[in-house]
Amino acid sequence: MTSQVSPSQGAGGSDVEDEDVDLFSVNWNQDHSCFSAATANGLRMFSCKPFKEQLRRIQEDGGFRIVEMLFRTNIFGLVGQGADKQYQQNKLTIWDDCHNLLIGDFSFKSNIRAVKLSKDYFVVALEHEIYVYSFKTLKLIHLIDTTSNPKGLCCLSHHADISVMACPGMRQGIVRVEHFGSKETKFITAHDSNISCMTLTVDGLLLATASVRGTLIRIFNTMDGACLQEVRRGVDKAEIYSIALSPNLQWLAVSSDKGTMHIFSLRVRPRGKDASNGKSAIAGRQMDRSYSSGSVGSNASSSLSFMKGILPKYFSSEWSFAQFRLPEVTRYITAFGDQTTVMMIGLDGRYSVFSQKMFNEVQEN
């Protein structure tokens, strides 16, 4: 089943007066059950299942560039667009909307590129620095220098027992992984060129990355830095908008400026666990490269892939088993809603859902 609803509509689905308001950014919450929209006149929050507008706040003096949610709570990380002196582009406000309470304000020397929240930490990404704060004390606990990071790339794990953060390193193509619990730092050589997109699994055990070339997506073990799988989106250069890993580690979804969402089958599985139940190897912290017999689809490959090691690497590439066309004129970010659906939000105000049945139909055709 696929549905498309515009976030410029009210909770009941009817048009509202400000339907032409500028939409600056959209972001999923940590479990992808909701998403927030930062607009030129405020913020909105939507639940995904069922799709419904749950909250709307209007700012008369200006809106927000970034709105980040903390799970399904009414705690937000807010960065303004600069029109309102209270909400500047270099200032993060942590706000409890339920109690109408300011939790904290944090100002920086340059504009904020991204904000990430978890139950234990919150992260502020500037173009050349990453600030990590404790949510409990609101104190700065890490200051990390990065290579030029205009997108504010960083990601946080959200498991109750494990806290992992990934961000660009000091050299192009390098990802820095911080394991806060064990106080270990790992540097992963992910690509030859600069990183353009990355994501972590909920437990932080797996990292998926793409470079500015946008042709290859690689999946790494964050404990030892091993590359577990590599898939190919295409041959032409593309800007990768988002990467998503399904909760059961069965699928990988990628959206880009080529107007296509690609679905890949993953072959990385936690050792000693049944990946179909969505559990990960938290205790063992180990991964293997075994194929899953329960995969929905197998990735496409060249008829000459049997000559791996003889022909150029391109001929042994794994290609997506399903693709969905999207408008090329807008930016879409993707996430898995559950084990059987993948969701898309666009900066054109559209929300779409693709089901497992559609994966099968696309593959058969």
The 10s digit of each residue's pLDDT in 185-196 is 999 999 999 999
- Give pLDDT, residue 87: 84
pTM here is 0.83
- Give pLDDT, residue 158: 85
Please give the Cα distance from 68 to 27 (Å, whole number): 7
Please give the Cα distance from 62 to 40 (Å, whole number): 6
Per residue in 228-262, pLDDT (tens digit) is: 999 999 889 999 999 999 988 888 999 999 988 89
- Give pLDDT, residue 299: 55
- Give pLDDT, residue 268: 80
Nearest to 205 by CA among 261, 254, 163, 257: 163
- Give pLDDT, residue 359: 57
- Provide the greatest CA pair distance for the chain: 64
Residue 91 φ/ψ, nearest 5 degrees: -130, 130
Alpha-carbon dihedral 56, 62, 66, 72, rounded to 10 degrees: -20
- Give pLDDT, residue 83: 65
Which mean pLDDT values do the consecutive 10-residue runs of the chain (365 residues) have? 38 41 90 92 90 89 91 94 81 93 95 95 97 96 96 90 92 96 94 96 94 95 94 91 91 91 83 46 45 44 46 61 81 85 88 73 51
Encoding tokens for residue 38? 């930062």
- Give pLDDT, residue 269: 65
CA–centroid distance for 121 within its chain: 17
- Give pLDDT, residue 221: 95
Order of strands, sheet of 195-200, starting from the edge strand that comes earlier in the sequence: 195-200, 206-211, 216-221, 227-232, 318-319, 300-301
Query: What is residue 75's three-state secondary structure?
Result: strand
